[in-house]
Structure 1
Amino acid sequence: MQTSQDIEAALTKRAAFAGVAVMVLTTVHHAIGAVVYSTPWRLHIALLSVPTIAVILGALAVHRRRAGAPAGRAAFAVLAAALALVPIAWIGAYEGVYNHVLKDALYFLAPGSPAFVRLFPPSVYEAPDSALFEITGVLQVVPAWVAAAALARRLRVGRPRTASPGGAVAAGSPQRMGSIR
């Protein structure tokens, strides 16, 4: 039987590795865009990806070694913040969902619509004319979703449990599951 600590560790690892996958995929995606659109400035994403991956993996390593100690809890806080801000919100939600899923949906379902032009002005956005670029852009959403789901579940599982009124221990609590905290 898995303990709550085992579940927390597995969810933390899944969230971290999915976050790293987002950063690797977005780097590949931007490199493709740099080549396809002759825009080498797109490679700037490496300046974000490399440090983000380092923070994620470094925080994961410290958290795993010192999980119950203050340093481990602080490392988890850094890990959760880094995941939430960069791979999940910035890359997954903004870059993946807005810049690619929504753009592609509007382009193919309502070509030339005022909403498309207003949300994705041609002076800033490329029309979807490279399948590889658009597919890798949309795919960023998948590991970002995995990271978000694992992180959200990890935060729920890792929440301190309290006894309910009347002294009964809540279902799923460490005391109920037989683990010792």
Structure 2
Amino acid sequence: MSQPSGWYPDPQRQTLQRYWDGEQWTDQVKSTKKGPNWRYLLAIGVIVVAVIVVASIAGGGGDDGDSSASPPPTTTTNLAADRTSQATVLAAAEKLCADMMREKFVDPDADFGNWKITAENPAGTTPPSWRVFGQMSTGSTPRGFYCDVAWQAAADNYHAELVG
């Protein structure tokens, strides 16, 4: 009766196992040594170092105060110390509302202007809020829109929502 197929100690080299197919030895061998696979560990180490280097280059290695990269469109922002001045509110509206309109109409090149505060606390809410009118131009077609901007003291930022 023949041995069943499987891995067996290599009859010629004690540090290897050879596969017996049930009738004869095959060319398939594997090591019987237990221990770290140094090639694998070296490859992992190289990958880890590469990721760290790329991350430090891409991220600048920390906060150096350079804010030249613009953040993704958002509905909140923190601006000046005087949170209720007309100039600060209009600056918040220009940033937040314009970003939302660009996203809504998928037009990163749209121009904005004619910002005006049309009402204070339009919904009669406790945190200071303003209804702001803005105009978006895409090509030769201007489009007016309204945006509600509110100061959120607990979050220390402005929140904006498009109206209508």
- How high is the TM-score relative to the length of structure 1? 0.23
**Structure with greater strand percent:** 2
- State the structure with more CA Rg: 2
Higher relative contact order (CA 8 A, sep 6+): 1
- How high is the TM-score relative to the length of structure 2? 0.25
